[in-house]
Amino acid sequence: MKRVPKIVLALLIQGLALLILAAVVKGASYWVTPPYPLWALAVAQGVLAAFLSCRLGLPCWWRLIQFGLPVGLYFGLHFQINPWWALLIFVVLWMIFFNAIKERVPLYLTNSTTRQALKKLIKRRQQVRFLDLGCGLGGNVVFMSQLVNVERADGVETAPIPYLVSKFFTLLRGGQVFAMDIWKTQLGYYDVVYAFLSPDPMPKLWQKVIAEMHPDAIFVSNSFAVPEVEPSEIWELDDRRKTKLYLYRMQDFQAKMG
């Protein structure tokens, strides 16, 4: 299943959910006489597809998409919504979640508790250069740029709408954001590199981190550990989702590899 493109797998799961629903409807017809409300069937299809998604290899954030697909199709047909609106919504969503398709990285936003943890992490450092890989709306970049011991705060983002929002935000309040792929960044310039991505890019990103970051630097991954690599520290934060920050101090790893 890992080799199947996510969009193909999503459609296959919708097909499986439809077959299951058809079997259930066939069985129910012996007790409850058809026809059944179409809206109820659309909701049931969405619930089934969302339930199956996490269990058949799709990241769990696909559940909302899987639920919304049949339900949205039903309402579009029922209310005779102009198809151009559907195209417009698709384009807007594509411009927001561009990296979910390209890099399998959804748009995750860092909360204030995590930002305070980053502030604590660099408390005893001077002239810190900070980079947020996939900075989303730019909140981390702005926050870090306003700390007195941060010399420079940068972010990179390629999803069009988040990039434009973050660019505007940083122009007003500080920091810099670049429309740049994370694989083209030069990590060696930075003292703290932060990422809130997904499990998929972590092995490849770790190879880049090890190759480029200097010995005194720290790589911080929000929620997603590097597979088969023991972090230097794990910080569990006191927020609602019990966020875990995986800290990798380069001196702990580059010394071993050298």
Whether residues 120 and 180 share a domain: the answer is yes
The verdict on residue 98 lying in a domain is no
Whether residues 27 and 138 share a domain: the answer is no
- The pLDDT of 161-169, averaged and rounded, is 90
Whether residues 236 and 194 share a domain: the answer is yes
Whether residues 152 and 224 share a domain: the answer is yes
Whether residues 186 and 227 share a domain: the answer is yes
The verdict on residue 187 lying in a domain is yes
Whether residues 123 and 59 share a domain: the answer is no
The verdict on residue 103 lying in a domain is no
The verdict on residue 21 lying in a domain is yes
Which has the higher per-residue pLDDT, 219 or 75?
Answer: 219
- The pLDDT of 207-226, averaged and rounded, is 95
Tens of pLDDT along 102-154?
555 666 788 999 999 999 999 989 999 999 999 988 999 999 999 999 999 99
Whether residues 131 and 223 share a domain: the answer is yes
Whether residues 180 and 70 share a domain: the answer is no
Q: Please, which residues have CB within 8 angstroms of residue 107's CB and are 6 or more apart in sequence?
A: 96, 97, 99, 100, 136, 159, 162
**What is the count of structural domains for the chain?**
2
Whether residues 158 and 31 share a domain: the answer is no
Whether residues 120 and 61 share a domain: the answer is no
Q: Please, which residues have CB within 8 angstroms of residue 101's CB and are 6 or more apart in sequence?
A: 6, 7, 94
Whether residues 61 and 130 share a domain: the answer is no
For residue 9, give both structure tokens. 């797998």
Contact between residue 177 and residue 170 where contact means Cβ atoms under 8 Å apart: yes
For residue 187, give both structure tokens. 């990590």
Q: How confident is the model at residue 181 (pLDDT cuts 50, 70, 90)?
A: confident
Could you say which DSSP state residue 182 is in? G
Could you say which DSSP state residue 57 is in? T
For residue 199, give both structure tokens. 């499990």
Q: Are strands 218-222 and 244-249 parallel, antiparallel or unpaired?
A: antiparallel
The verdict on residue 193 lying in a domain is yes
- So what's the pLDDT on residue 73? 82
Domain encompassing residue 155: 112-257
Residue 34 pLDDT exceeds 90: no
Whether residues 119 and 227 share a domain: the answer is yes
The verdict on residue 236 lying in a domain is yes
Phi, psi of 218 (to 5 degrees): -130, 135
Q: Please, which residues have CB within 8 angstroms of residue 115's CB and are 6 or more apart in sequence?
A: 139, 140, 143, 144
- So what's the pLDDT on residue 105? 60
Q: Where is the domain boundary, 81, 102, 126?
A: 81
Q: How confident is the model at residue 220 (pLDDT cuts 50, 70, 90)?
A: very high
CATH of the domain at 228: 3.40.50.150
